[in-house]
């Protein structure tokens, strides 16, 4: 998504713009501690480019963006299914004088950090990772991944115009419940390293409050949520932005002591 026409040749791009009616955008950098500039490029610039492309599609009826429930950051209590608005933050306590989140400014800070850091590639990477964590915690998110995914939602909401948009916010996606078969998984991300290390006996202890729920959602339930919500909103043709969370901790909490 970082190239002209999203990396497609002109003929392919033109064909898609004429024929596609639903776009589901799930590409993201999901590393919690990656370089700030890399997270911004994938999770903010990427969705923005795809939305611009979507607005050129003649028959588009719905743009679906896969986000994360963790865009809610430090906020506690009941979380409304409402769009992120440009400039908001997720700090628990905030004064009227607290600065708004400025995405353009964050881009400048991130990319200037590359040139201002040491010429050594390792030093630059460490500095950029630390910067992402600092900026996230300043505005009320726990890491650069959460912050940039929130920015991605803001960008989509800001530039969607009359495009119908659906945002799905899953929690921690793990192996399947039923489909394609129970326990199916691909990749090694999110909670996988912790669970696998514990299962192999390589993680004898895990620090934390045993009563805290670990909000894990099976991948097939997330897919079913996407399909059902797309079917519902794809026929409405309303130029609005709708949000759905896919989570488990309220109806079926899985506490840390249940896992370990």
134 vs 170: CA distance, rounded Å? 24
Catalytic residue among 149, 160, 244, 257: 149
Place of tokens 């392919």: 12
Q: Is 119 exposed, middle or buried (0-12, 13-18, 19+ CB in 10 A)?
A: exposed
List, in sequence order, the alpha helices (H) in 20-166: 36-40, 46-54, 103-116, 121-139, 144-159
Assigned token pair, 181: 């078969």
Place of tokens 């045993």: 210
Count the neighbouring beta carbons within 10 Å of the beta carbon of residue 53: 20
Q: What is the DSSP string of 137-174?
A: HHHT-SSHHHHHHHHHHHHHHHH-TT--EEEEEE-EEE
Q: Are 131 and 215 in contact (CB under 8 A)?
A: no
Is 149 among the catalytic positions?
Answer: yes
Is 145 among the catalytic positions?
Answer: yes
Catalytic residue among 36, 127, 139, 145: 145
Backbone phi, psi, residue 78, to 5°? -70, 125
Assigned token pair, 10: 């002109």
Count the neighbouring beta carbons within 10 Å of the beta carbon of residue 212: 12
Residues taking part in catalysis: 145, 149
């Amino acid at each position: 998504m970082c190239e002209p026409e999203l990396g497609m040749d002109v003929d392919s791009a033109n064909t898609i713009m004429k024929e596609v009616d639903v776009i589901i955008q799930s590409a993201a950098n999901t590393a919690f501690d990656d370089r700030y500039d890399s997270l911004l490029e994938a999770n903010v610039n990427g969705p923005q480019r795809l939305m611009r492309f979507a607005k050129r599609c003649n028959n588009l009826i719905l743009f679906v963006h896969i986000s994360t429930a963790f865009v809610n950051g430090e906020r506690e209590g009941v979380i409304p299914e409402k769009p992120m608005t440009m400039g908001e933050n997720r700090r628990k306590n905030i004064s009227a004088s607290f600065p708004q989140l400025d995405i353009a400014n964050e881009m400048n800070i991130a990319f200037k950090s590359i040139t201002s850091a040491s010429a050594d590639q390792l030093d630059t990477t460490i500095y950029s990772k630390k910067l992402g964590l600092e900026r996230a915690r300043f505005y009320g998110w726990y890491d650069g991944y959460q912050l940039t995914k929130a920015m991605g939602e803001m960008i989509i909401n800001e530039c969607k115009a009359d495009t119908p948009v659906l945002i799905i916010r899953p929690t921690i996606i793990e192996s399947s419940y039923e489909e394609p078969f129970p326990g199916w998984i691909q990749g090694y991300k999110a909670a996988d390293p912790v669970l696998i290390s514990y299962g192999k006996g390589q993680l004898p202890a895990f620090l934390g409050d045993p009563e805290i729920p670990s909000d894990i959602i099976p991948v097939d339930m997330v897919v079913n949520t996407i399909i059902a919500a797309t079917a519902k909103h794809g026929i409405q043709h309303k130029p609005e932005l709708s949000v759905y969370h896919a989570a488990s901790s309220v109806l079926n909490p899985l506490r840390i002591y249940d896992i370990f």
